[in-house]
Amino acid sequence: MQRALAAIAWLLFSAAAPAGEGCNSLDGTYRNASDGKSKDGKDNAHLDDFVRMPRGGYDEKLVVFGPMGNRGAQKKHFASTATIAFDGKVLQLEYHDAAGKPIVRYPADYPYAWTCKGSQFEWEYEGVTGMGNDIRETRSRGVLARDASGDLLMVEEVHDSRKPAPSRTEQRFRAVPAPSAPASK
């Protein structure tokens, strides 16, 4: 009996270790803005969209909103690149300005906490919205993975109970060389 329990414990712990190590494969530096528009026509995404302050808004070191225009308030992003690092528990993002100087570092926790699954990060959400006869159930899933070229690919799928097929958005963040540390004086 003890052998069986020891074997089960070994399987559980040995299977859990590679999952955390696999997510280190995403470690690297990427452009903050994704390439152009997504396939569904949405504007490009930004890696600084993965962080919200406790009060719910953006960190003003990363994003500020300008005056209202024809398309709403204009967002200004201060980060040019973001370095992703998995510390074994949480996906960490360090943002850099155009000169490579670090701006701020945060855990990625938006829209939901990212969890390591194999060699990628994922979040999932299920919810019901609406009132009266206009109620819908949605299931959303986001995946962050590295593609064959070394770029970061973010895929989001939303299943809406009122629609026959899920919607899918893909955004690509190009890999860039890591910023060099500023020379110490």
Contact call for residues 152 and 175 (beta carbons, < 8 A): yes
On whether residue 182 sits in a domain, the answer given is no
On whether residue 86 sits in a domain, the answer given is yes
On whether residue 1 sits in a domain, the answer given is no
**Predicted local distance difference test score (pLDDT) of residue 12:** 30
Q: Mean pLDDT, 10 residues at a time, over the chain (185 residues)?
A: 35 34 87 76 79 81 78 80 90 92 89 87 90 88 92 93 89 87 47
Distance CA 116, CA 182 (A): 31
Q: What is the DSSP letter of 45?
A: P
The strand pairing partners of 158, in sequence order, are 140, 167
**Predicted local distance difference test score (pLDDT) of residue 9:** 32
- Structural domain count of the chain: 1
**Predicted local distance difference test score (pLDDT) of residue 41:** 57
Structural domain for 83, as ranges = 21-176
**Predicted local distance difference test score (pLDDT) of residue 74:** 77
Distance CA 133, CA 107 (A): 39
Q: How many residues does the chain have?
A: 185
Burial per residue of 144-182, b for 16 or more beta-carbon CB atoms within 10 angstroms, e otherwise: bbbeeeebbbbbbeeeeeeeeeeeebebbbebbeebeee
pTM for the full predicted model = 0.75
**Predicted local distance difference test score (pLDDT) of residue 6:** 35
Specify the 3-state DSSP secondary structure of 64.
strand
